[in-house]
Amino acid sequence: MENKKITIIIVAYNSRIKIVDCLESIYCQNYPENLVKIIVIDNNSADSTVGYVREKYPQVKLIKNKTNLGFAAANNQGYYLAKKNKSDYLFLANDDIILKPDCLSHLIKTMAADKKTAAVQAKLLLYPQKDKINSFGNSTHYLGFAFCNYYKCQDNLGITKSFATPYPSGAAVLIKMSALEQVGLFDERLFMYHEDVDLGWRLNLAGYKVLLDPLAVVYHKYNYSKAKYKFYYMDRNRLMVLLENYRVLTIMLILPMLLIMEIGIILFSLKNGWFREKIKGYFWILSHWPSILSRRLNTQFKIRKVKDKEVIKLFVSAIKFQEIDNPILKFLINPLMQLYWLIVKKIIFW
């Protein structure tokens, strides 16, 4: 275990203030420093991020992109550098996280315990509210929505053993390099949001395990915002991931509920001022259908080793995320989706 080489990738964008605590916490890890390589990939920051890292942390490999390539493409850059370094694992770190000193050691230990494990996420706690949860595992809804579990709940769940989760948060996750070689890297078309959902789905389809380790703790300076461009990427990417990873029969079964939900989202977007972004997402999917089909074929015929029946055991039927909670969702939409899924999942045998 202690001979495993790790490459840590930090994707930076106007990160001058945030990245200091992140880097310092990495250098305080109790894992052998000679086995850790840190790479900062800057997505064309407009502040002094690049100059600061270059001056204060000359030992860090710094890549400066001329444009903002997005989270997915930047992390893929990191993968190729890690492969060149002959690393065993890739650790993805948001620029706004702070690792506890034993975080990497716990993640490595959990990863090494089972050769089928491909990704291990750390427990994310909020910062500076260190007693509250940011992500204690994640949920994938059968209609493609994704959210973190126990958001803003007190960190007193009493769970200390690792457990399966449908996807690992890209904020703090250790990933096996050999697994990435098998299932492929992040989908760069996603740009931002759902790239970790897609990767987790593919890893599960390939027969790997995705886990959360409660003993590996990271503090996250998380801030949820509702910008229009975020709705565009989240909703468009949700549909892309769903279309590429489900069996056709599964898509057909969930289609009635999916259409009902789409009508609801369109009405929601009209009310909240991002209807244009919603329609733009539909047009993007239609215009990029050949690439979606190509990736779908690769997933279904080259990566898949596990039936939908097994993968959906990790999926949920209700959306429970505090920041979007409302009476209509709680008392109408969620009960309807839960009833529909209760019936549908009994039919799926493929």
Domains of the chain: 6-220 (3.90.550.60), 228-347 (no CATH)
Q: What is the mean pLDDT of residues 98-127?
A: 97
What H or E segment, with its residue span, contains residue 279?
A: helix 275-287
pTM for this prediction: 0.96
Q: pLDDT at position 2, please?
A: 60
The tokens of 81 are what? Answer: 């550098």
Residues 281-321 have pLDDT tens digits of 999 999 999 999 999 999 999 999 999 999 999 999 999 87
Q: pLDDT band at 8, cuts 50/70/90?
A: very high
Sign of CA dihedral 87, 89, 93, 97: negative
Residue 223 has pLDDT above 90, yes or no: no
Q: What is the residue type of 324?
A: I
More confident residue, 213 or 268: 213
Q: pLDDT band at 1, cuts 50/70/90?
A: low
Q: pLDDT at position 325, please?
A: 74
Residues 248-273 have pLDDT tens digits of 999 999 999 999 999 999 999 999 99
Cβ atoms of 314 and 213 closer than 8 Å: no
Say if residue 283 is exposed, middle or buried (CB neighbours under 10 Å; 0-12, 13-18, 19+): exposed
Q: Give the span between the Cα atoms of 80 and 74, in whole angstroms.
A: 10
Q: Give the span between the Cα atoms of 116 and 129, in whole angstroms.
A: 34
Q: pLDDT at position 201, please?
A: 98
Q: What is the mean pLDDT of the chain?
A: 95
